[in-house]
Amino acid sequence: MEQIMSGIIQRDAHEREFHQALREVLDSVKPVIDRNPEYRKQAVLERIAEPERVVMFRVPWVDDQGQVRVNRGFRVEMSSVIGPYKGGLRFHPSVTLSIIKFLAFEQVFKNSLTTLAMGGGKGGSDFNPKGKSDGEVMRFCQSFMMELFRHIGPNTDVPAGDIGVGAREIGYLFGMYRKLRNEFTGVLTGKSLNWGGSLIRPEATGYGAVYFACEMLAVRGQTIEGTTCLVSGSGNVAQYAVEKILDLGGRVVTLSDSSGYIYDEEGIDAEKLAYVMHLKNVLRGRIHEYADKYPGAVYTETDPELDHNPLWAHRADCAFPCATQNEINEKDAANLIKGGVTLVCEGANMPSTPGAIDLYMEHGLMFGPGKAANAGGVAVSGLEMAQNSMRLHWPREEVDQRLRQIMKNIHKTCLDAAARYGKEEDYLDGANIAGFVKVVNAMLDQGVV
């Protein structure tokens, strides 16, 4: 296994995030490989670590001043062994091939856990939508789709949103796809309601993460009611995580963006959350404006010199990282533990560094890893695909009920897989093992292709 890992590191030395995601899965599945010598002969690790296809392309577009700009587009089609490639698009200046590969790799196992027929992929661009006009975003999305359309399709690859890609971007992308193909199909998920979207898709990742946290708490005879929660981010996932925590009687005291975070000792209530949703989704403002509106809250700017994020040092019971990868390092994890946190549930993808995860484990925290805890988003994307195929719309209650059941099932799948390998309550190993075994067995069934 070490040989495989070092071969991959040597070949693509700069892909740090991809190596981090791969290392975590390899560590978890080591006992599975040991029990199944056939896996070695079939080179399942080498196969699963190599994307089926990588597409990289130029995205030229014209800004409002008439200046031509060029960004780089990506789509990593990691595995289609259990269904069409499925996974979001991220528009953020930090996007690199390594970031997209790590996300596509995680997506394979996450999608497998949902029990729906979806393979794994991810895409995006280093385009920064911040500060761009609607016209600029539209022209960028159109140019992006002018290349992407030839690689995707409702039975081939079905993208969706991620950081920097929400309803507005999905609309522009879908419009261009429809024009180019002269076809109205469910080729993207996260669509708006009146042209093929599903109820609960916007809420699904945040709600699902909280449902997963409730399942973990229930194992220890606890509930989320009355707990104090730290939430990071203030985008799609964070907003609906907060909404569900409030619904269930929890208290949320933080939110953030890449510029800083707010701490609201009185708690972010439903009215304040409605303000945040308007601020972020309509005005496209910054979280520091929350502290201007609600003077009881304190805003702390991000200090790039600091080796930790003070958001994680506040006293609380539960933490929901919902911003981005590696946002909780070892020092932050130590602060969480010092501050009384006993549950970390990942709304974001890979928000905890390996050192942070080691600390959670050492201290017996309930830890819901992203590929299990945030699978509700892609699960409802799968339900959107199902509704599109039937040309039907399910009511809100039905989709929410299905989401809740899927999160319950994922939780149980993780617990059972972990227990089979003597790792009681280890959701990380459980998620990795369960996701891995299903994909690898499907791969073996289908031969060397």
Candidate list 77, 162, 243, 317; residue touching ligand 2IT; CB under 6 A: 162
Candidate list 377, 427, 436, 440; residue touching ligand 2IT; CB under 6 A: 377
Kindly determine how many residues on this chain lie close enough to bind ligand 2IT according to the rule CB under 6 A. Answer: 12
Rg for the chain, CA atoms, rounded: 21
Which residues, numbered 99-118, are part of the site for ligand 2IT (CB under 6 A)?
A: 107, 110
297: enclosing H helix or E strand: strand 297-301
Quote the longest CA-to-CA distance of the chain.
Answer: 63
What is the token pair recorded at 291?
């502290």
Q: What is the DSSP letter of 82?
A: S
Active-site residue identified among 86, 110, 122, 371 = 122
* Residues forming a β-bridge with 90: 124
Residue 374 is a binding residue for ligand NDP (CB under 6 A): yes
CB neighbour list of residue 184: distance below 8 Å, 6 or more residues apart = 178, 196
Least distance (Å) between residue 190 CB and ligand 2IT: 6
* Residues forming a β-bridge with 234: none
Q: For residues 62 and 73, give the distance between their C-alpha atoms in angstroms, rounded to a whole number.
A: 16
Residue 95 is a binding residue for ligand NDP (CB under 6 A): no
Residue 44 is a binding residue for ligand NDP (CB under 6 A): no
Candidate list 29, 71, 76, 86; residue touching ligand 2IT; CB under 6 A: 86
Q: For residues 330 and 123, give the distance between their C-alpha atoms in angstroms, rounded to a whole number.
A: 29
What stretches of 236-328 show up as alpha helix (H) in DSSP?
236-247, 270-277, 288-293
The one-letter code for the residue type at 20 is: Q
Give 280 or 423: the residue with its C-beta nearer to ligand NDP.
280
Q: Is 122 marked active-site?
A: yes
Q: How many CB atoms lie within 10 A of CB 260?
A: 18
Q: What is the DSSP letter of 90?
A: E
Q: For residues 430 and 377, give the distance between their C-alpha atoms in angstroms, rounded to a whole number.
A: 20
Residue 200 is a binding residue for ligand 2IT (CB under 6 A): no
Residue 203 is a binding residue for ligand 2IT (CB under 6 A): no
Least distance (Å) between residue 71 CB and ligand 2IT: 19
Which residues, numbered 171-230, are part of the site for ligand NDP (CB under 6 A)?
A: 205
Residue 325 is a binding residue for ligand 2IT (CB under 6 A): no
What is the token pair recorded at 59?
């995205």
86 binds, among ligand NDP, ligand 2IT, none (CB under 5 to 8 A by kind): ligand 2IT
Give 18 or 39: the residue with its C-beta nearer to ligand NDP.
18
Identify the residue whose tokens are 């981090």.
20
Residue 189 is a binding residue for ligand 2IT (CB under 6 A): yes
Q: Which residues bind ligand 2IT (CB under 6 A)?
A: 86-88, 107, 110, 160, 162, 189, 349, 377-378, 381
Q: Which residues bind ligand NDP (CB under 6 A)?
A: 92, 94, 161-164, 166, 205, 233-238, 257-259, 322-324, 347-349, 374, 377
